Amino acid sequence: MAEMQKIGVLYSNSVGGRPLNVDFKKLEKLIAGDGGSFAYYGEVPDLLVEGSEGRLAEVMKSRGLDGIVLAAGSARTLGERLPILAPGVGREQVTFVNILDHCTGAHEDAAVRERKACALVRMGLARQRVMSTIEKDKLEVFDAVAVVGAGPAGLSAASWLADRGRKVVLLESGNGLGGMASCEKDVAALISKVEASDAVEVLKEARIEEVRGNKGSFTLSIVKQGGKRVEREVGAIVVSTGLAYPPGNEEEPWISYAKLDKRRREAPGDLPENLGFIADPEVVGELVAQHAITVATGLAADHGKHSFIFMGDVPVRGESGQSNYEAALMAGVRFFRPDARGVKVEVKDAKAIVKGLDIILKQDFAITCDLIVTGERPRVSDGSRQAAEVLRLAVEDDAFLQPGNITYLPTYTTRQGVLIAGAAGTEAPTPLAMRGGRLAAIEADAILGEGTISIGAGDVEIDQAACAACLTCFRICPVGAIGVSVDRKVPRISDVDCRDCGICAAACPQRAIKNFLTPELAILEMGRACLKPAPPDGPVVLALCCARSGYAAADAAGELGLPIPENVRVARVPCAGIVSTNVIFGLLNLGVDRVMVVGCPIDNCQNKHGSNLARRWVETCRDLIANLGGDANSVSFHPIASNMPHLFAQRAAEAARRGKDDSRRPS
Amino acid sequence: MIALGENSLEMYKDVSQEEDFKFCMTCGICIAGCPASRADPPLLIRNLVRKVILGQEDDLLNDDTPWTCVTCSRCEEVCPQDVKPFEMGLAIRQWQCKNDETRLPPSLVELYKRGYTQAVDKSQELRAQVGMKDKLPTITEYPDLLEKYQKMLMQIEIIKANDYMFGG
């Protein structure tokens, strides 16, 4: 270990309005008394909420901390959003300790709660100490960001980055900026801002031909207007290529959205009085339905038109769905919900009569409209398809589109340094697309950082000197991220595909794979830390839980207030498959009485065979222990899905109870 | 048939100055909790609100169901959109009277004939089954009292003026 690492414990007394009911002041003395060393201990509420982006980095900088243990709520909800809410803070720099669920939720007795909290914080400190000592390389980073596609998402990303003083290369395949939303007020403001900015280089009618390099140092070959080629060096790439709409029926009274937008922009007064929008989300897709509502609202509110929307189900999903719907109702847009047969349109004297059955009043309706606005199902734009190809990202027919992705913004790609924003990634109406662009920009800004990038934990690499080229890693990698270089016959890990599960590192007989999250040493240190303070009776049980399934189940068990024995201490590992026989015997050797390995259900493992691997390792351990005359039950494997908190509580109780009186350790 | 006439999209302004009802998303929770939704014909407050929004003037004018409301205001409590369906029902009653001077609420006739407005005959069988008196002890069961009550009602101007409707 080189120099002393400075690690801080930050805690919060309440998470999302739920009090933690743990006396943290007392806890500090307990941890300090146990010989744990840390640099800073303090309460910082609301660190990882939207609107406080960057505060965590500030705290770390002002206190000179190398790592942080965050004693508050669930690592699932906070950890997934770490790159957005705390730009500049690496995943390896933060350890989450879920006091809220594992202590406050699971235990009513204050003394028990505090003992458990103390043990969990010590475990967090132990892990963080290991993570902070992993050596990091510093690499130079190009100080520019490429934004591909100048729709609302791309524009808002470019303008945010320009405000931060970053150089931006904005590529647009078409001739004008703004994409489909060019006539909306907010977007028009962005266009003029971006065009006036010195920091943004706008390349129209341009496309990327080739991308070389990695996160922090990409080199783009761009084909400009007139076939001229240029090269640009950027640190991160934001892909906001949007969606495409095929043209609709163009004969009046039929009109397409594009044509209506044009007429509305040029002479809103000339538009006729009554406008009908046929936009059943089942038929035209949710995005068109959302778009119809927005356009109808604008026409009714700004220009006093009568808008009628015919749709079976109103799409109110997502953050803007409900508010858009309410804005439409307020503006006086009339919704008609036809039955399953839909609507029929009769054209008479250049006017359309829309007929159908209103399912609420159980009456036929016949509404006369001067114009009928239709759209067709959006499809992936050529730009998205081409970008996926150029960036060497494996995508299917829908390119980056992930309908229903409302949880994570922006959509993540497997290639580091490439961010997807807006409608290219998830069907998003304009405000949501702009927000997605902004979030992608925040992340891109964090990648550029201060001009250097630290390659450390989470950037897995193979120590070529130690590698015996047995190719166990090549065979075991669940996502095929490991290839063998032809000339030198050694394996290489592609950072495009690697998912950081760590299975290869656990399986490597030479221990040659370094720098993955929560390595063996960290688990062993957590095992050492979990022994203190010792529970009043019974064995110490260390539950090593897969971050995706078992840990989520443990969180949920605490949230539901299910009784979890005090002696069960929960630790988070990226995949159950990394708990190898080495780790298990190491833990037993340190004095942990029982080890529970909790993974995904065998046939539903995120890392394909991670769970199966864990089961086999546990079985090997049990056989060996039984042969040596020990208690085979001290090691156990439990496939528990994230929605099975009751099963987790039951298994935890069993593990804590079993053999309470015949402790394995010789006294 | 729902067809939009010339002024129908502005009609809602006559009925109510408040604009809360515009937020109605026709979920029907107001009907689910409404005791009068089991009357015959049923009071469907959601449909009344929709008729106002679509300006179905003729339809609304001849609708007697707003008068079945027992003013329990349960719909108001459960409405997720704060549409205030209860107040809307009362506003429709006012609007009907304002636009049709000869209009007599049908419940007034019921009140005169029976002494109460809501038909509660539906529960008679059930009451008998559990060993209760099958008829509710309403004023109808006491003819002399009902007669007194009718005499009293007859002194009200609107009933006196339309006494032919009350068997007078």
Q: What is the SS3 assignment for A377?
A: coil
Count of residues making up chain B: 168
pLDDT, residue A80, reads: 66
Give the pLDDT confidence of A53-75 residue by residue, as tens digits. 778 888 888 888 888 888 888 77
User: Bigger pLDDT: A258 or A409?
Assistant: A258
List of chain B residues whose C-beta atoms are within 8 Å of the C-beta of residue A364: 1-2
pLDDT, residue B144, reads: 92
Instruction: Residue A389: name the closest of A145, A144, A172, A208 by CA.
Output: A208
Query: What's the whole-number mean pLDDT along residues B5-21?
Result: 83
User: Bigger pLDDT: A37 or A51?
Assistant: A51
What are the structure tokens assigned to B24, written together?
A: 């109605």
Between positions 30 and 89 of B, the ones with CB within 8 A of A are: 46-47, 50-51, 53-54
Helix (H) or strand (E) holding A283: helix A281-284
CB contact under 8 A, B50 and A360: yes
Q: Which of A108-112, A165-169, A509-513 has the highest mean pLDDT?
A: A165-169
Q: If pLDDT is split at 50, 70 and 90, which confidence band does A665 have?
A: very low
B7 near A CB under 8 A: no
Query: What's the whole-number mean pLDDT along residues A18-37?
Result: 75
Q: If pLDDT is split at 50, 70 and 90, which confidence band does A405 have?
A: very low
Residue of B nearest to A306 (CA): B9
Residue of A nearest to B9 (CA): A306
Average pLDDT, whole number, for chain A? 82
> Could you tell me if residue A267 is left (phi over 0), alpha (psi between -120 and 50 degrees) or otherwise beta?
beta
CB contact under 8 A, A329 and B4: no
**CB-based contacts of B11: which residues, under 8 Å, 6+ apart?**
B52, B55, B57
Q: Which ipTM did the prediction report? A: 0.77
Residue of A nearest to B82 (CA): A326
pLDDT, residue A421, reads: 83
Helices (H) and strands (E) in chain B, counts: 10, 0
Give the pLDDT confidence of B27-82 residue by residue, as tens digits. 889 998 888 887 778 899 999 999 999 988 888 988 888 888 888 888 988 998 88
Measured distance CA(A130)–CA(B47) in Å, rounded: 66
What are the structure tokens assigned to A25, written together?
A: 């002041």
Helices (H) and strands (E) in chain A, counts: 21, 35
What are the structure tokens assigned to A408, written together?
A: 């994570």
Question: Kindly report the CA angle at A386 between A415 and A184, in degrees rounded to 5?
Answer: 95
Question: Choosing among A308, A334, A357, A370, which should be mutated to test the B contact, i.e. which has the most B CBs within 10 A?
Answer: A334
What amino acid occupies position A335? Answer: F
In Å, how far is A65's CA from the nearest CA of chain B? 49
pLDDT, residue A387, reads: 80
Give the pLDDT confidence of A559-604 residue by residue, as tens digits. 888 888 888 999 998 889 899 998 999 999 999 999 999 999 888 8
The answer, yes or no, to whether residue A664 has pLDDT greater than 80, is: no
Nearest Cβ partner of B1 from A306, A330, A366?
A366
Query: What's the whole-number mean pLDDT along residues A86-99?
Result: 81
List of chain B residues whose C-beta atoms are within 8 Å of the C-beta of residue A361: 2, 47, 50-51
Helix (H), strand (E), coil (C) string for A385-426: HHHHHHCCCCCECCECCCCCCCCCCCEECCCCCEEECHHHCC
> DSSP 3-state helix, strand, coil percentages of chain A (rounded to 5)?
40, 25, 40
Query: What's the whole-number mean pLDDT along residues A614-636?
Result: 92
B26 near A CB under 8 A: yes
User: Bigger pLDDT: A542 or A460?
Assistant: A542
pLDDT, residue A158, reads: 94
Residue of B nearest to A367 (CA): B3
Instruction: Residue A54: name the closest of A86, A90, A12 by CA.
Output: A86
Q: What percent of chain A lies above the pLDDT cut of 70?
A: 86
How does strand A167-172 pair with strand A144-148? Answer: parallel
The answer, yes or no, to whether residue A320 has pLDDT greater than 50, is: yes
In Å, how far is A257's CA from the nearest CA of chain B? 24
Measured distance CA(A553)–CA(A644) in Å, rounded: 6
Give the pLDDT confidence of B52-66 residue by residue, as tens digits. 999 888 889 888 888
Query: What's the whole-number mean pLDDT along residues A653-658?
Result: 84
The answer to whether A175 touches A262, Cβ cutoff 8 Å, is no
Q: If pLDDT is split at 50, 70 and 90, which confidence band does A378 have?
A: low
How does strand A541-546 pair with strand A167-172? Answer: unpaired
Query: What's the whole-number mean pLDDT along residues A439-465?
Result: 77
What long-range pairs does B29-33 form, CB within 8 A, spacing at least 24? Answer: B29/B75, B29/B78, B29/B79, B29/B80, B30/B75, B30/B78, B30/B79, B30/B83, B30/B85, B31/B75, B32/B78, B33/B74, B33/B75, B33/B77, B33/B78
